[in-house]
Structure 1
Amino acid sequence: MRAAIGLWRWRHNPLRRTTDLIEAWVALTAAVLLCVVVPLAGWAAGVSANTSLQQAVRIQQQERAPTVARVVRAADGAGGERAAELAGEQRLRPAVVADWTAPDGSRRSGTVTTTRDQARPGDVFPLWTDRSGRAVSPPMHPDTARAHALIAGLTVALLLAFMVETARRTVVHRLMRRRYARLDRAWAQAGPDWGRTGKGS
């Protein structure tokens, strides 16, 4: 609103400089972008991210099945590729050797992480598997997907707002430098006797 008022004020002002008019238009454009374009872009990004994530949730729910695993013993230190996959999770959850039933009814065994703080032989815990019976992480919850989409939309909006404000400040800074340069040239043209010309001094 202040940008529009400033633009109207400079419209017929005899003291108006070209840089003043440019600055007012830049401020008005930035205000429109921040109030209209930035929220729309954030909303569009959030909707797009939510659509993609909800589709991923549906695919995960179709391809993953819940089962119950029974602890056989504590893991002695899984080796190879599985150790690398479990390295981060083991810091928070214990790794155990467990048995479970695959979706096709076959028995499977392997090293997995549990949701329990302590796992003793014979304890059971929920486990998710893919169609082949391999242990996988649980499917993403739809609410989690929506939260990620909201964060994505807010991030896009904030980045765009930052870019708009940075561009506005850059233009205003250059306009100020141009004004100061013109003022310096005007003072240089006036000379050291400015204000005393024609007084015989």
Structure 2
Amino acid sequence: MRALSGLWRWRHNPLRRATDLAEAWLALTALLLMLLAAPLLGVLVGSSAQDSLQRAAREQRLTRHQVTATVVRRLERGPLEADPETATRDTRTRVLAAWTAPDGSAHRGPVLARLKSAEPGDRFVLWTDRRGHLVGPPLDPAAVATHAVLAGVGTALLTAGLVETGRRLVLWRMVRRRHARLDRAWQQAGPDWGRTGAGS
């Protein structure tokens, strides 16, 4: 971005090359895109994600129901579950539970209950759909806001990164062309070097 200062300094400089000015304009354009377009795109994506997630959360609140389940018995840890000695402390216990769905049907199955020590007859809350199939809890407003902010910030950072990558690629091409022109100029002037009477 040092070329930005060159826009002002090179305005009337007789040693200014066209490529110097082009590099400065390229840097200024990239900077403006990173400062203006990237945040604007981030805000648009974040607000769109917020709207979409809020609609999904409303739909989940309508279709997911909290029911009270009763522990039938505690289940042993399966072979694929983490070893309690090495795993981080988890407050969920694997149990066989029974619950009644919102449509009145009775269900029974293995679930993870948020109970420190699950004893038969203990009650806990879980989420099901209307027919009693287990589902996750609906999105809460804090999760919706967090996901929307992350989407917006991620989009802004990705846009800024793409702009900078594009600037570097264009600059690389410009430098290669400049070096190719210099090589051609040296080749044209080179054969006369050091020869007597060549005028050099």
Q: When the two structures are superposed, what TM-score results if normalisation uses the length of structure 1? A: 0.82
Please name the residue that 1:26 is paired with: 26
Following superposition, the deviation at residue 198 of structure 1 comes to 6.0
Check 1:3–1:43 CA distance in 2 against 1; reply closer, same or farther (3 A cut): farther
Please name the residue that 2:12 is paired with: 12
The count of residues paired between Structure 1 and Structure 2 equals: 192
Partner AA of 2:111 in structure 1 = V
Distance 1:65 1:172 in 2: 58
- Unaligned runs of at least 5 residues, structure 2: none
Deviations 1:120-174 (A, max 9, x none): 2111111112111222211111111110111111111111111100111111112
- Unaligned runs of at least 5 residues, structure 1: 79-85
Following superposition, the deviation at residue 6 of structure 1 comes to 2.2
Distance 2:179 2:4 in 1: 25
Richer in helix (by share)? 1
Distance 2:195 2:23 in 1: 35
Distance 2:31 2:42 in 1: 16
Check 1:126–1:97 CA distance in 2 against 1; reply closer, same or farther (3 A cut): same
Following superposition, the deviation at residue 4 of structure 1 comes to 5.0
Is 1:140 aligned to residue 139 of structure 2? yes
Please name the residue that 2:109 is paired with: 110
Following superposition, the deviation at residue 44 of structure 1 comes to 0.7
Check conservation: 1:3, 1:31, Cα contact below 8 A: no
Following superposition, the deviation at residue 116 of structure 1 comes to 2.2
Deviations 1:42-69 (A, max 9, x none): 1111111111111111111111111211
Distance 2:185 2:47 in 1: 55
Following superposition, the deviation at residue 186 of structure 1 comes to 2.3
Following superposition, the deviation at residue 188 of structure 1 comes to 2.4
Distance 2:36 2:20 in 1: 24
Classify the secondary structure of the residue corresponding to 1:69.
Answer: strand
Identity of aligned residues (%): 56
